[in-house]
Structure 1
Amino acid sequence: MEKRLRVVEIRSEMPAGRDVEAFVVPWFDDAPSTGEWWEEAAGQWLERRGDAGEAAAWVRLGATDTPDVFVARLSAGERPAAESCRRAAGAGVRAARERGLTSVGFRMPDGADAGMWQASAEGLELGDWRYDGLRETKGRTAPPETRLLHAAEAVSADARAAVRRGRILAEAQNATRELVTLPGNTVTPRYLAETAARLGREHGFSTRVRGRDELEADGFGALLAVSQGSVEEPCFIEMEHEGGGGAPYVVVGKGVTFDAGGISLKPASGMEDMKYDMAGAAAVLGILTAAARLELPERVIGLVPATENLPSGTAVKPGDVVRGLSGKSIEVINTDAEGRLILSDALTYAQRLEPAAIIDMATLTGACVIALGHHAVAVLTASDGLADELSAAGAVTGERTWPLPLWKEYRAQLDSDIADIKNIGGRGGGTITGGWFLREFVADDVRWAHLDIAGTAWSEKAHGWQPKGATGVGVRLVHEWLRACGSG
């Protein structure tokens, strides 16, 4: 993965002269005047905008010995203050990069709490991410190497710890973004396994990889069925951060490294984007990396079923019946509904670990984009309180979630005439029936939630702390949920 060396400092005094080339100021409309050197110019710009709502722009100070000032106007109360800081920091560092500036400072709001410090550090790391590893970089702007967090008051130890936590989480999310961005001829199932092993060696979590022979011996029939059409061998990746021991929190990620749809071939237009059908798997690698680096007290296990889904003379066919690790028979109506097949084996295995809870993440259904667009992660769960827990974590991290029902009536859409279940339930309620299929492989007494990230794994335009491209969604969301579980 691409390596960048950056210097991040925390200071309790404002920059002097050209101490930094860019100074990012989050401006809340209800904030009192501080009389600082940038305020008059910022105020003039805000007056010209009137009540136009949130916006951001460079403002002119008329002096050559002061930093360029980037003001991000924020509406107090529209979103949590921490997310506003994250968005402002991200937008500011992206703007500084576009100007070719080498250093940027961020003005922390007076009285900022630890959450705002963490979010601001995340924004500075997340906002300017870009992967240039496969092209000549001549003439392209480099990211600002020095980032400063400025506060008018003394900085507490809690704030410094929050900045460190924010940087680690953002770096894990950026590494996830890179994995999702790389092309399918690079990121194969074997590449995912080798990356997991390398990250485990570097950061101190264990890794076990099952290849085809072991999968056949152990009965991972659904994963093997999806892999039949490809010359790339499937694998099942298991990672563990031991933490303080106890029942593990298990995170499962769909690892289809390229999805052509199999025999139920996808349309050619847009198929190149199917390299990101392993976004859930990449997030699991990011979660385990951050858990190890942050020394989380919770025991965390990551599971990734990895394969390609391609058409060939050996590929699984519509109408075939396969039997996975659970022993249930599955009628394959559509080979492009493959993610749920490989996840059924992973969820069956996860329960053998006697987990405290299971969270699975997958770019599972196009129907999720129809239902929620690109603004929220769909949550499907039958476990009391789990949707609310994930919603609370999403409010903190800016990766918002929205629950969809798992009523029994939807299960009937998956009834098969010849098998225990079929893998699709028709057009109506596609995201819900996809979730119901997964629920079929989870015992009622197991705390489990499915996160459909099909609409949030990739962004077509830059906004706030999110550049155009892979989002790395799920890394910070799941970590915030784990922190809350640990403090409960």
Structure 2
Amino acid sequence: MEIRSGIPVERELDALVVPWFDDADATGEWWEGPATVWLEGHGRSGEVSGWARLGAVDAPDVFIVRIDAGARPMAESCRRAAGAGVRAARARGLGSVGFRVPETADGAAWQASAEGLALGDWRYDGLRDAEGRTAAPEERVLIAGGKAGPEAEAAVRRGCVLAEAQNATRELVTLPGNVATPRYLAAEAERLAGEHGFRVEVRDRKRLEEEGFGGLLTVARGSVEEPRFIEMEHEGSGGDPVVVVGKGVTFDAGGISLKPASGMEDMKYDMAGAAAVFGIMIAAARLEIPQRVVGLVPATENLPAGDAVKPGDVIRGLSGKSIEVINTDAEGRLILSDALTYAQRLDPVAIVDMATLTGACVIALGHHAVAVLANDRGIAGELSEAGEATGERTWPLPLWKAYRAQLDSDIADIKNIGGRGAGTITAGWFLREFVSDDVPWAHLDIAGTAWAKEARGWQPKGATGVGVRLVHEWLRVRERG
């Protein structure tokens, strides 16, 4: 992505996107004509204008995105404006697109502007025939009021890498269940490891049986697709790792506790947490972050069959705890229990897991925030700050001991659901049973944020890739201390 200085007054670009802040100091005084006319009739923040000419037929088409002063941090405003603007330009069939970076932009705003252009310009059509595919995105340019310094250039590079990693995550989530199987994810991990230089190890069914991954193997019993446990490592500067874990249910029919048919096709994205781990590993390797990072993905399908796990069955996972399975559609926590148990064997400094875990999370927070449940207030606060910086906002839910009683079983150490009330919290409590209290751990429930039903800001309709930039920002700030 190129940085240029000055405003294009001739058609060297097809389109120019201008974030118009209600705060005049942020917008600058470089151009007021068409913007003033349009702003009189459009008051909603984030709304994109129709196109306006810069004063000549051969000048680029201009798209104005209005930003309410103080509505959100400038970086997130730039990210949303760039994404909305590039989507509007593409809808008109325009090729090369420039984004006017505010004159007061700092490094975070430069990074966010680059992210917005790349994230808003994403579309997956790899399964269409040649006629149905869109052309590869044309030139994307950031326009600076003056000379952009080294800080801006470094921020833009970081933003491009993160956006590309997030787009790779989006592609994995978008793929249908007959393509993105557990074996496909394992092969993709090996391909990415070779491309980006991180380590990968894949456990097949035989090895999972030998090592006692009972939770993962139990969920996989109903499917002819074999499970995989994928371990990826970015070595960094060495030392004890941060471990990121992602739920990898590549298709979730609910097992014997079968889901309703309506909307079941969406259950291909029940591996969005796993896909985010892939994106995090790509970004860690490409940005050469010093922190050692290990990514873990338990991958399986959850289908009904004659030998599938049944409600009322009692199983044992890698931890050795007995688990009464009350609902086979609460399968994600079973495979994550094995992954979290394994994660602790790596002597981690912290663990973060991501999963489309509960519909209750959508009821509680809708589609605007990631639920955070943690055994440590420090890590929850760090993730909250990272969420504000990246626009992938989080909100904490409690893990009070009173909720643990809902998981008491009459015949086993724990049961896998705690009833209708506080479903997201009891799911978090279940996971907490498999994490030592002396290891900072946070669970991110991304059920409401992994898929967008409609386009907004930098997000086209479809897979969001949530978690990649959030966790990377948390890692970056954590490393700086």
**TM-score, normalised on structure 2?**
0.98
The reply on whether 1:466 has 2:452 as its aligned counterpart is no
Deviation, structure 1 residue 142: 3.4
Which residue of 47, 58, 61 corresponds with 2:50? Answer: 58
Partner of residue 318, structure 2: 325
1:439 maps to 432
- For residues 81-480 of structure 1, the aligned pairs below 5 Å read 81-138=74-131, 141-142=134-135, 144-480=137-473
2: distance between equivalents of 1:18 and 1:198? 41
8 Å contact 2:46–2:457 — kept in the other structure? no
Quick one: percent identity of the two aligned structures? 75
Amino acid at match of 1:111: T
Deviations 1:177-209 (A, max 9, x none): 000000000000000000001000000000000
One-letter amino acid of the counterpart of residue 331, structure 1? E
Displacement of 1:56 in angstroms is 1.6
1:336-395 CA-to-partner distances (Å, cap 9, x unmatched) read: 000000000000000000001000000000000000000000000021311110000000
Letter in 1 for 2:52: R
- Say if 2:310 and 2:325, in contact at 8 Å, map to a contact too: yes
Q: 1:304 to 1:139 in 2, by over 3 A?
A: closer
Paired amino acid for 1:367: A
Distance 1:53 1:296, change over 3 A: closer
Asked if 1 retains the 8 angstrom alpha-carbon contact of 2:254 and 2:303, the reply is yes
Secondary structure in structure 1 of the residue aligned to 2:145:
coil
Contact 2:360 2:424 in 1 (8 A): yes
Are 1:93 and 1:144, in contact at CA under 8 Å, matched by a contact in 2? Answer: no
Q: CA deviation at 1:144?
A: 3.9
Distance 1:260 1:241 in 2: 33
CA contact (8 A) 1:25 1:71 kept: yes
Could you tell me which amino acid in structure 2 is paired with residue 190 of structure 1? R
Is 1:41 matched up with 2:47?
no
Contact 1:97 1:144 in 2 (8 A): no
SS of match in other structure, 1:379? strand
Q: Contact (CA 8 Å) 1:97, 1:142: kept in 2 or not? A: no
For structure 2, which runs of at least 5 residues remain unmatched after alignment? none
State the Cα RMSD in Å. Answer: 1.2
Q: 1:317 to 1:190 in 2, by over 3 A?
A: same
Deviations 1:264-291 (A, max 9, x none): 0000000000000000000001100110
What displacement does 1:31 show?
A: 1.4
Which segment is superposed worse, 56-65 or 461-470? 56-65
Separation (CA, whole Å) in 2 of partners of 1:15 and 1:279: 40
Which amino acid counterpart does residue 236 of structure 1 have in structure 2? F
The change in CA–CA distance for 1:435 and 1:463 in structure 2 (over 3 A counts) is same
| Residue in structure 2 matching 1:80, options 67, 73, 86 | 73
Is the counterpart of residue 483 in structure 1 residue 476 in structure 2? yes
Distance in 2 of aligned mates of 1:11 and 1:477: 28
Give the stretch that moved more between structures: 87-96 or 8-17: 8-17
Residue type at the aligned position of 1:435: G
Deviation of 1:60 (Å): 2.3
Matches of 1:172 and 1:351, distance apart in 2: 27
Asked if 1 retains the 8 angstrom alpha-carbon contact of 2:44 and 2:66, the reply is no
Give the 3 Å change call, closer, same or farther, for CA 483–53 of structure 1 in structure 2.
Answer: closer
Letter in 1 for 2:49: A
Q: Per the alignment, in what secondary structure is the counterpart of residue 10 of structure 1?
A: strand
SS at match of 2:319: coil
Q: SS at 1:138's partner residue?
A: helix
Give yes or no for contact 1:344–1:441 (8 Å, CA) kept in 2. Answer: yes
Shift of residue 15, structure 1, vs aligned partner = 1.5
Aligned length: 479
Tell me if structure 2 keeps the 8 A contact 1:100–1:141: no
Moved more, 24-33 or 171-180: 24-33
Please give the TM-score of this superposition, normalised by the length of structure 1: 0.96
1:143 positional shift: 5.4
CA drift of 1:58 comes to: 2.5
Hey, what's the Cα distance between the residues in 2 that align with 1:92 and 1:478? 26
**What is the rounded CA distance, in whole Å, between the counterparts of 2:251 and 2:28 in structure 1?**
53
Going from structure 1 to structure 2, the CA distance change for 1:445 and 1:335 (only over 3 Å counts) comes to same
TM-fit CA distance, 1:39 = 2.2
Q: Counterparts of 1:35 and 1:411 in 2: how far apart (Å)?
A: 59
Q: Classify the secondary structure of the residue corresponding to 2:97.
A: strand
Please give the secondary structure, in 1, of the residue aligned with 2:251: strand
